[in-house]
Amino acid sequence: MTVATILVVDDSGYARRLLRQTLEPLGHAVVEAGSGLAGLEAYAVHAPDLVLLDLTMEDMGGLEVLGRLREMNPGARVIVVSADIQRSTGRQVADAGAFRFLAKPAEPAELAEAVQAALAQEDG
Amino acid sequence: MRLTDLETDALNELFNVGLHRAAASLSDLTGKRVTVDLPRLWVCSMDELKERLVEVVTGDLATVHQFFGGAIAGDAVLMLEYVKAVQLADLMTGGDVALGGRLDESAREVVAEIGNVVLSSCLGAFGNMLRVAVSFAVPRIQIESLDGMMRSVVIERERGTPYALVAATRFSLEGLEISGFLIVVIGVKSLELVSRALTERVG
């Protein structure tokens, strides 16, 4: 089991708590950001191993955040966790370079598996 | 009733998931991308809800009501301006129904079925998140004015509590002039149960 620092970017404090509740018992350190901009700042400060990113946020949408993260670090590992589960959204997320697209609320087992797979991925 | 920040946040997330799930079903049905505004949540009276809606809809409406019960009870409504409902029925059937710009019986059945699928997705997501069974009644389509719709919204009958939790979002189908509203109304009694169930999940 790889233990990592994981940045959770979601404007819902409740959603962040649900994710933290799954991640911390697995030994991961969780950093939270409550907006897209705060997420970019937190990424620069904490250099996390993985980002869990919501799409629908008021200040900056998750797809834009994802684009900027990959400009900052082309090897950034990002799992999108969103309520918007349209097929077209899934395609946009994949095209933008996300590792995985999970529907909210993410089931703990599914989230743990996706996180482990993302962390096991080779850089870049 | 006063909600804590965590309860408010949890309710926002519940409706965010439910209303987006409904939008995804509509996208699957129509083959079109559906754009959804950020869902809005209010604890308000039915009069206040009407005041909010009167600013954004005009003319007759085609509404599909899906009453739900079980651990939580309320009314989920797909609300379309009449002309938009005609366009939606047209889109779904390649122009076989809604002839002459009217919602005849066949066209109404099409819109009712769309409402059924879309609203059931939303309510199913509520059940999953709350870990409770939510049962739905057969969907009911009505052509009515906004006044009529407000009268037909069914919430728990609670003495002295005319307020309800209302979640609403506007959606539109990309590349088309079709847009409408998804509205979920639950009574204050259910609201307490929902808040408790959600916050218990995060300790």
A46: domain CATH number is 3.40.50.2300
Closest Cα in chain A, distance from residue B177 (Å): 19
Q: Which helix (H) or strand (E) holds A108?
A: helix A108-120
Residue A115 lies in a domain: no
* Contact between A84 and B129 using a beta-carbon 8 Å cutoff: no
Q: How many domains does chain A have?
A: 1
Examine the predicted complex and report whether its ipTM is higher than 0.85: no
More confident residue, B105 or A9: A9
Residue A95 lies in a domain: yes
Residue A53 lies in a domain: yes
Q: Which of B135, B18, B137 is nearest to B67 (CA)?
A: B137
When pLDDT is cut at 50, 70 and 90, the band that residue B114 belongs to is very high
> Which structural domain range is residue A81 located in?
5-109
Cα distances (Å, whole numbers) of residue B197 to A81, B16, B130, B194, B203: 22, 16, 6, 5, 10
Residue A116 lies in a domain: no
Residue A124 lies in a domain: no
User: What is the mean predicted confidence (pLDDT) over B151-165?
Assistant: 65
Residue A117 lies in a domain: no
Distance (Å, rounded) from C-alpha A3 to C-alpha A117? 12
Residue A123 lies in a domain: no
What pTM value is reported for the model?
0.84
Among A8, A11, A12, A14, the strongest candidate for a mutation testing the B interface, having the largest count of B CBs within 10 A, is A14
Closest Cα in chain A, distance from residue B85 (Å): 22
Residue A16 lies in a domain: yes
Peptide bond between residue A105 and the one before it cis (omega within 30 degrees of 0): yes
Tokens of B113: 């079925």
When pLDDT is cut at 50, 70 and 90, the band that residue B25 belongs to is very high
